[in-house]
Amino acid sequence: MRNKTSLFVFFLLIKSSVLFSQVAINADGSNANSSALLDLKSNNKGLLPPRMTHVDMSLIPNPADGLIVYCTDCGEDGNGVLSIFMGGDWKTLTSNCLKPLAPTIKQSVPFTTTIVWDWQGVPYATGYKWNSTNDFASSIQMDTMTTKTETGLACNTAYTRYVWAYNSCGNSVPSTMSQTTLTCSVPTLTTTAASSIGTATATSGGYIIGDGGSPVTTRGVCWGTSPNPTIANSKTTDGAGMGIFVSSLTGLTDNTTYYLRAYATNSNGTGYGNGIMIKTLANTSGINFNPNLTYGTVTDIDGNVYKTITIGTQTWMAENLRTTKYSNGDPITNETGNWTDLETGVYCWYSNNETQYKAIYGALYNWFAVADSRNIAPSGWHVASDAEWGTLIDYLGGTSLSGDKLKEIGLSHWLAPNTGATNSSGFTVLPGGYRSYGDGSFFSLGSYSFYWTNTAENAVYMWTYYLDNSNADVNRTSWAKNFGFSVRCVKD
């Protein structure tokens, strides 16, 4: 059936040629062009001439001028070329390579300092080149990519760029792309929920999502006692740049409601994160710690929690010891009678009044409790030695300059004048007085603070340090083992 159909078409073409002397082959039914004997029209097929070798062509008898064939082994590289018979000879037609068309420009995406340039791929292109100037020779190789992300641009600025398609035959004319960056703004960020909220400290921070088109130069958290605080209020400064940061808030007042916001500043101004609200813990101890410093904590075997402070290379308790047990759980004897002949560890409270004095001033211990191998300090800590007290005092400027930096400020616990007290170190010395070993009398609450070391001067006397309300010195002296003094511990 297929052969019969082909034969019918052949005779139809012959008939059409005889009747009209012109033939049109197309799908739309239009007539042949008046200048053409054969008019072929198609948008998806071409005309395929006869294909033969050079030898085959030479065997064509009496070829007419204008006869066209495709010589499969002719041409400079022997890969074939279209040939025409002219003036008694076969001649090859010059085959110029087909360059690609210029790329079609798509919608580029602008940001504040970035533009994503975008174009459509074109047929016969093996790659693309991009440039900020109309110069193909210096353009940037994009290979087959059809996007280019350009960064480091200025905000709210118009830019023009150029892109070429190319293949082995050459390059297209350039396509021109134009776009304007977005207007710059302040940074965008969020505020981190607060944690580790104490009486005078808290932790927060932020996450900078966008820099607004300009580098973030300063960031941190600001706070105040009214909503929507700004950098005109109290604030931290926590570096620069994008991403997550952590802020430590200090100097807060206990039992107080605060409003916090993260902030970030660039050349366009300051942006703020969402506002959060916190309330600091109440200072139930009544001790005036330094609100501008960050304290840690340690817990003893009784469950007492103490503030700790790092000073130089040492970490100290910022409160007087008040444990009633050694670190192995054995009880320390609470002795309210005569301590003169004791050679074992004992403790008591000032005036033997635990309710009134324990929380603020801690316990008073004899030196045998301090020296006991069962250790009265929390695990990982020990009673400070004479040398360790010396290191502390030297770090703060020496005996005549360090006392004011160690003492709690104000007259809540110290008697006037509490000379020079600043507590700038955070150590917070409290005037717990002392207990006499003889009749068990108590002395100097509010005016003196005595601290044991774990270091003996000799068989009878032990090194101690004391401070008082009338001068800013720290004094080193030795006392007999049976007195009752306060204790400060230092981390191992």
Q: What is the number of structural domains in the chain?
A: 5
Question: What does each C-alpha distance from 382 to 90, 108, 303, 389, 487 come to in angstroms?
Answer: 109, 68, 17, 13, 10
User: What does the buried/exposed string (b/e) look like for 151-188 if buried means 16 or more CB atoms within 10 Å of the residue's CB?
Assistant: eebebeeebebbbbbbbeeebbebbebebebbebbbbe
Among residues 288, 415, 296, 303, the alpha carbon closest in space to that of 360 is found at: 288
- Residue-number span of the structural domain to which 77 is assigned: 48-95
Q: Are residues 342 and 384 in the same domain?
A: yes
Task: Name all contacts of 446-452 with Cβ < 8 Å and 24+ positions apart.
Answer: 446/413, 446/414, 446/415, 447/414, 447/415, 449/486, 450/479, 450/483, 450/485, 450/486, 451/384, 451/389, 451/485, 451/486, 451/487, 451/488, 452/365, 452/367, 452/370, 452/383, 452/485, 452/486, 452/487
| The dihedral sign for the CA sequence 403, 406, 412, 414 | negative
Stated pTM of the model:
0.49
Q: Are residues 452 and 393 in the same domain?
A: yes
Dist CA 474 CA 468 (whole Å) = 8
Q: Are residues 319 and 275 in the same domain?
A: no
Q: Are residues 199 and 272 in the same domain?
A: yes
Q: Are residues 243 and 371 in the same domain?
A: no
Task: Examine residue 315 and state whether it is found in any structural domain, yes or no.
Answer: yes
pLDDT of 11: 43
Dist CA 474 CA 323 (whole Å) = 25
Instruction: Encode the chain (492 residues) as per-residue pLDDT tens digits.
Output: 444 444 444 444 444 444 446 888 888 888 888 877 888 888 888 888 999 987 888 889 998 888 999 888 876 667 788 888 888 888 877 666 668 889 999 999 898 889 999 999 988 899 999 999 999 999 999 999 999 999 989 888 999 999 999 998 889 999 999 999 988 899 999 999 999 887 778 999 999 999 988 899 999 999 999 999 999 999 999 999 999 999 999 878 878 999 999 999 998 899 999 999 999 887 767 899 998 898 999 999 998 889 999 999 999 999 999 999 999 999 999 999 999 989 999 999 999 999 999 999 999 999 999 999 999 999 999 999 999 999 999 999 999 999 999 999 999 899 999 999 999 999 999 999 999 987 889 999 999 999 999 999 999 999 999 999 999 999 999 999 999 999 999 999
Dist CA 477 CA 77 (whole Å) = 107
Whether the CB-CB separation of 431 and 445 falls below 8 Å is answered with: yes
Q: Are residues 126 and 214 in the same domain?
A: no
Q: Are residues 135 and 253 in the same domain?
A: no
Q: Are residues 197 and 308 in the same domain?
A: no
Q: Classify residue 205 by burial, with Cβ atoms within 10 Å: 0-12, 13-18, 19+.
A: buried
Task: Examine residue 286 and state whether it is found in any structural domain, yes or no.
Answer: no
Dist CA 182 CA 138 (whole Å) = 28
Q: What is the dihedral of CA 301, 302, 308, 312, to 10 degrees?
A: -40
Task: Examine residue 444 and state whether it is found in any structural domain, yes or no.
Answer: yes
Task: Examine residue 384 and state whether it is found in any structural domain, yes or no.
Answer: yes
Whether the CB-CB separation of 174 and 200 falls below 8 Å is answered with: no
Residue pointed to by tokens 């304290």: 295
Task: Examine residue 158 and state whether it is found in any structural domain, yes or no.
Answer: yes
Domain boundary (127, 149, 180) is at 180
Q: Are residues 62 and 148 in the same domain?
A: no
Q: Is the peptide bond before 417 cis (omega within 30 degrees of 0)?
A: yes
Among residues 178, 180, 175, the alpha carbon closest in space to that of 104 is found at: 175
Q: Are residues 465 and 441 in the same domain?
A: yes
Q: Are residues 357 and 478 in the same domain?
A: yes
Locate 288 and state its tokens.
């005036």
Q: Are residues 399 and 369 in the same domain?
A: yes
**397 contacts: CB under 8 Å, gap ≥ 6:** 405
